[in-house]
Amino acid sequence: MNHVVTERGTPAGPPPPSPNGGRRGRLVEVVIPVYNEERVLAASVERLHAYLTSTFPYPFRITVADNASTDATWRAAVDLAARLPHVHATRLELKGRGRALRHVWSTSDADVVAYMDVDLSTDLDAFLPLVAPLLSGHSDLAIGSRLTRGSAVVRGPRREVISRCYNLLLRTALAARFSDAQCGFKAARTEVVQALLPSVEDEEWFFDTELLLLAERNGLRIHEVPVDWVDDPDSRVDVLRTARDDLRGMARVARRMLTGAFRAPVGGRTRPGGAGPDGARAELPAGMARQLPAFAVIGVISTAAQLVLFVLLRTVLGPLWANALSLVVTTVGNTAANRRFTFGVTGSERAFRQQMEGGLAFLLGLVLSTGGLAALHAAAPGASRAVEVAALVAANAVATLVRFLLMRAWIFHPRRVRAHGPSEVHATAAEESGGTPS
């Protein structure tokens, strides 16, 4: 009988002996978080168990984490734990994929913890390359990526566009360096992830992204593995709700970065050139370490506001006019907010001229977003509102990066601002010159 537990940790049977089977003694625990998956759970776990038993060179444990299913998922999980060696089951009474992973990972005694989606969309041949750098100590976390060279992905254009937009937004707004935050195929060294978990706030779909951003912020090494991936047409994910929650999560993380609270008690690696766990910040040009988080927060808020305005205006206007009007309104607010909070410029002098110069960013965003919408409707006439919003997010992400560079290097450059009155500029000019803000 295998080990079955509830959220309260009450065992339903004795734990099995260590599954060494004559192989090397590093234990890998694979978690499969599930919610109402009675139809596919047994076949997926049996397939994974057979694969690991026949090919995986390390001891393993499979843990099915049922988070508040209302169908027969829990009964199926208990049956699997009774039939298959090295399969465990645990049940939580609250929903949330992040909550399920946190529950299992935080108490695991394995050397490496991993998870994969129950549909096994990712080819299992990528699993050993995923965990090998963690077992060797080369890396701290590992992710499967559908967006790197060497990956092979089969999925519809809607989910492809949304996924690429999301990851592009992460890279431009929060300076993420990993390529695919959402692939349900990840692993980590247990001591590392257990140190990070108390600083991860999300309990649902943003959990993965927040964990990876926190790991990067603390100088940890993330290994990426290109994967073969086939979309599950029966996915239960509410794309619009998930996108909204992800934007909220990004805004929350950006605020924590801005206040310096996005930290965890884990030692990062020394980077080339002597930089430590905070090496990314140390390598940035003067002033940018403070500017980027503020710009990211304002950018996320502006993007969310523009999307809301676009959806509202779209009820009475065509997509191009709705996009143009929503972009005009949010560009004015974005420029004013960045003037004050990102670049530390106050006072009314030159404010109008700086708004006009910021209008170049508006034109850039208008060209990119209008072109993106036009190309979308040319390629897919009658595209849904959700796909239109995804296309806008992608265009805005590219425009955001260029807008930051324009503002920093031209519109609000400290030498240019100081030439028109030293009282206008505060923190930015001091940082650029190597001093401290007064």
d(CA 133, CA 143): 11
Q: Which of 111, 140, 208, 246 is catalytic?
A: 208
How far is CA 162 from each of CA 38, 171, 370, 402, rounded to the nearest angstrom?
28, 14, 17, 21
Burial of 320 (0-12, 13-18, 19+ CB in 10 A): middle
With beta carbons less than 8 A apart as the criterion, state whether 83 and 94 touch.
no
Amino acid at site 107: T
d(CA 5, CA 256): 35
How far is CA 211 from each of CA 137, 172, 225, 249, 278, rounded to the nearest angstrom?
19, 18, 18, 12, 16
> Is 208 annotated in the active site?
yes
d(CA 163, CA 360): 28
Q: Which residue has the tokens 């930290």?
A: 263
CA–CA–CA angle 216, 220, 224 (5° rounding): 80
Phi and psi of 186, rounded to 5°? Answer: -140, 160
Q: DSSP assignment of 12-54, as one string?
A: SSPPPPP--TTS-S--EEEEEEESS-TTTHHHHHHHHHHHHHH
Q: Taken in order 129, 220, 65, 6, is the CA torsion positive or negative?
A: positive
Long-range contacts of 210-215 (CB under 8 A, 24+ apart): 210/249, 210/253, 211/141, 212/141, 212/143, 212/176, 212/178, 212/181, 213/170, 213/174, 213/176, 213/253, 213/262, 214/262, 214/264, 215/140, 215/141
> CA end-to-end span of the chain, whole Å?
67
Q: DSSP assignment of 327-350, as one string?
A: HHHHHHHHHHHIIIIIS-B-SSTT
How many Cβ atoms sit within 10 Å of the Cβ of residue 251? 19
Strand blocks (E) in 171-278? 185-189, 222-226, 228-230
Question: Which residue, 336, 339, 344, 334, is CA-closest to 396?
Answer: 334
Structure tokens, 192 = 């590392």
Active site residues: 208
